[in-house]
Structure 1
Amino acid sequence: MGLYNIFNIAGSGMSAQTVRLNTTASNIANADSVSSSLDQTYKARHPVFQAELAKATQGQQQQESYSVKVQGIVESDKPLQKEYAPDHPLADADGFIYKPNVNVVEEMADMISASQSYQMNVQVADATKSMLQQTLRLGQ
């Protein structure tokens, strides 16, 4: 694997972490939403990542290229919060309101993790760039 492939790997990692950050931000933004039915209640969402190995053959050489791919975004299957609030304007006929299954503490920890993963990919790309520049200086 050449140094140029590392830019593709780091770039796909940054794209995947951006999706993770956006999904987490959406979960946090909807954490306090309320609805009158289970069907309309926001459910926490999480991205599913897939490590992708693509093998291409060029003549006798076999070249491996790795990347990170977002396979999809799934809704959490944790139970929604049901709260008795008969005075609430969105209460159903039985006096219940429904809140999302978002745990803000877990989401904040996930956001910190995604941010650090993104930063690590940036550092990998910077280190690769530096190595390539030093390699070019050797030829002078």
Structure 2
Amino acid sequence: MVSDAIGIASTGLTLHRKWLDAVSDNLANVNTVTATGDDAFRARYVIAQAGEGDSGVYVAGAAYGDAEGRMVHEPDHPLADEAGYVRYPDIDLASQMGQLIMAQRGYQSNAAVVDRAKAMYESGLQIGK
């Protein structure tokens, strides 16, 4: 029973770590500029999937944002085209910050489950002494 809890929580830890990686990558590139002829940075979103029975949760894949991004008029930018436009990623900073908080809380919750299951296992070992 305890090993099941640790195993399930470890799948949650892995999922939330990958979610945190994706969000941090998106946040790090929110202001990445490209020329209008190039693709914008594409935000990455983790797709979660429940496992069979009580086996936990897994990363089923990733979805990517639009490569078109958004056009911004910055005529003084070195990458600006003849009309003065550059391309930025279409990443909503507020949404990403919300995702960051949810991923952090999920990671913390799963880590707490592992700690409590470990403490319960250790307490069970003390009974036989």
**Count of aligned pairs:** 129
Tell me the TM-score normalized by structure 2.
0.88
1:92, distance to aligned residue in structure 2 (A): 2.2
RMSD of aligned C-alpha atoms?
A: 1.9
Of structures 1 and 2, the larger Rg is shown by 1
Aligned residue number for residue 10 of structure 2: 11
How far the C-alpha of 1:39 sits from its partner, in A, is 4.2
State, as a whole percentage, how many aligned pairs show the same letter. Answer: 29
Is 1:29 aligned to 2:18, yes or no? no
Structure 1 segment 66-105 matched on structure 2, within 5 A: 66-77=55-66, 80-105=69-94
Paired amino acid for 1:84 = H
Measured in 2, the distance between the counterparts of 1:100 and 1:38 equals 13
Contact 2:39 2:68 in 1 (8 A): no
**AA of the residue aligned to 1:37:** T
Residues 73, 84 of structure 2: 8 Å contact kept: yes
Q: Equivalent of 2:103, from 114, 125, 139?
A: 114
Q: Distance in 1 between matches of 2:6 and 2:91?
A: 35
**More strand per residue: 1 or 2?**
1
When normalised by structure 1's length, the TM-score is 0.82
Match in the other structure for 1:45: 44
Amino acid at match of 2:20: L
**4+ residue runs over 3 A deviation:** none
Structure 1 unaligned regions, length at least 5: 54-63
